[in-house]
Amino acid sequence: MVHTQEAAPGATPRFADAAVTFDDVLAELARRRAEFREQRYVPKDFVDRLKQTGLYRAATPAKFGGEPLPPAEFLDRIERISAVDGSTGWVASFGSALIYLAALPVETQAKIYRDGPDVAFAGGLFPIQAAEPTDSGFRVDGHWKFASGCMGADILGVGIPGDESTAGKPRTALLRPDQVEIVQNWDVVGMRGTGSFDLVVRDVEVPREWTFIRGGEPTVDEPLYRYPVIAYAAQVLAVVGAGVARAALDHAEEVGSGYAGVTGAPKLADRPYYRAEVAAAEAALRSARAWFYELSNEVWETVVAGDPATDEQNAHLRLASAHLARTASEVVGRLVEISGTAPIYRDHPLQLLLGDALVPKQHAFLGPAMYDAAGAVLMGLPPTTPGFR
């Protein structure tokens, strides 16, 4: 079943190719998601399908032909994809990653977008690998992990150290796919189809103007690039968890009236604890989701008005993202717990969704440390986590 998620407040549909509707792409995804899970990555032909919906121009500067979306609109799209397949939602979420590239020199950006605004960027940014400075740039050589979506990417990034000019923040060096070896070693219990493989680069010189500071000052003055960059990166991952939890709730509500245990016990929907837990899970997810989108719209209005997002707004965005990821994972876990023995089977829908829901919550941008860092900022203290803003 393809779930139609209610649109985020203020969302208006836009498509790069008017002949391709978002629902067409979701229907195709529902047919192919098992294929992606089995091969462990979303292939380039389907990334091209996502491009037709405008997802990979949603963070391209308008000056280069992009159609930048307000974050809440983009997040709503990612949530709807994730309700069909979390892995594809995770890969599609990196359509937002072009906000990082806004820190590149304008001339470099013009070269990136010269063939069109639909660009898929993927990166293996950690662990940071040493890069020898050269007269014109950096000599890159190393091995990086977690390059989600790399199999369908048009351009790849790897993490290298910063220097005095970056205030200690690391750089990302950009490379063509033919300069990078992809090691297909992704073997996980959740988000199996993200293709978060390792990247290996051997002795490639990258010009300085093809590197950027992650979260660095943008060289393009458009509203989207004034929205907090790292907070947005956390949001696009958290909302994947929300989509996965939505799929789990849809499943629980649909099968509750039809599933009876092998012992002859009442149908799930006839059991008071099942009804109560499904209702509580529904309330928890919708509440976390509403706060998440409310904050995104509030911060967007601030930056569109020409004002910078405040430290408190950034902290709230980070906190709401961590809370949504945690809530989504807990929702799926609760549904598994009340669903009898059926979910113990490896191919049961809830078992697959349980693994997918775990991944956003475990991400460094969304883990327990975010609560401490957000709390510190809200009480007037410095954030306790590096890269919080």
Question: What pLDDT, on the 0 to 100 scale, is given for residue 1?
Answer: 31
Phi, psi of 19 (to 5 degrees): -80, -15
Measured CA to CA in angstroms, residue 103 lies from 86, 107, 226 at distances of: 29, 11, 11
Q: pLDDT tens digits for the chain (389 residues)?
A: 333 344 443 343 445 565 679 999 999 999 999 999 999 999 999 999 999 999 999 999 999 999 999 999 999 999 999 999 999 999 999 999 999 999 999 999 999 999 999 999 999 999 999 999 999 999 999 999 999 999 999 999 999 999 888 877 899 999 999 999 999 999 999 999 999 999 999 999 999 999 999 878 999 999 999 999 999 999 999 999 999 999 999 999 998 876 555 556 688 989 999 999 999 999 999 999 999 999 999 999 999 999 999 999 999 999 999 999 999 999 999 999 999 888 999 899 999 999 999 999 999 999 999 999 999 999 999 999 988 88
Count of other CB atoms within 10 angstroms of residue 65: 13
Class of domain 227-378: mainly alpha
β pairing state of 211-213 and 171-175: antiparallel
Could you report the per-residue pLDDT of 200-237, keeping only the tens digit for each?
Answer: 999 999 999 999 998 789 999 999 999 999 999 999 99
pLDDT at position 171 is 95
Q: How many CA atoms lie within 13 A of 16 on its CB side?
A: 23
The residue ranges of every structural domain in the chain are 120-213, 227-378
d(CA 151, CA 43): 6
Which pLDDT score, from 0 to 100, does residue 20 have? 76
Specify the CATH number for 120-213; select among 2.60.120.330, 2.40.110.10, 3.20.20.70, 3.90.1150.10: 2.40.110.10
pLDDT for the residue 9: 38
**How much is the pLDDT for 16?**
57
Q: Kindly report the CA angle at 55 between 186 and 228, in degrees rounded to 5? A: 85
